[in-house]
Amino acid sequence: MFVEQMLSRASERLAIVDAGASLKDAASLMARPETDLVVVCRDGAITGVVTKTDIVAHISRGADLGAPIDTVMRRDVTTCRASDALGDVMQVMKARGHHRVPIVDDSQGPVGIVYARDALQCLLEEVEIDDDLLRDFISGVGYR
């Protein structure tokens, strides 16, 4: 299974702010249901990401929401492509401790976000289908 097979759902969860935006702009996007990650872009390409945890940590240090997003964003961004195997993406997410990874196109522009729970659900469905096919094959149903 490839990332592109879950691109529809992944694109629904995509939240983008310009690199010149404020922390408040990102926080406003995170008010949407199931939006835990905001992608920061400059000229259409990813320059960083901000999570709810980043915003809370920033506020707890006494900073205000008017601060520029680039003072809080993480610049070392793990990304994937629609052509990547979903299992490989999950391995990278596990190794790096990520729960969400942006999907990028050839110009490093964001096209969606892979959420670990969505990826796991897709992989589970694939295993269940394979299990059913194998069971049918073994019981001879596939030859009738």
Domains of the chain by residue range:
3-139
| Residue 133: pLDDT over 90 | no
**Residue-wise pLDDT tens digits, 65-88:** 898 998 899 999 999 999 999 999
Average pLDDT taken over every residue of the chain: 88
DSSP 106-131: TTS-EEEEEEHHHHHHHHHHHHHHHH
Asked whether 3 and 126 are in contact (CB, 8 A), the reply is no
Written out in words, the top-level CATH class of the domain with range 3-139 is alpha beta
Give the pLDDT score at 62. Answer: 85
**Residue-wise pLDDT tens digits, 12-27:** 989 999 999 999 999 9
The pLDDT of 34-44, averaged and rounded, is 93
Dist. CA 39–CA 30, nearest whole Å: 11
Asked whether 131 and 124 are in contact (CB, 8 A), the reply is no
The pLDDT of 85-102, averaged and rounded, is 94
Give the pLDDT score at 28. Answer: 93
Starting from the edge strand earliest in sequence, which strands make up the sheet with 37-42, in order? 16-18, 37-42, 45-51
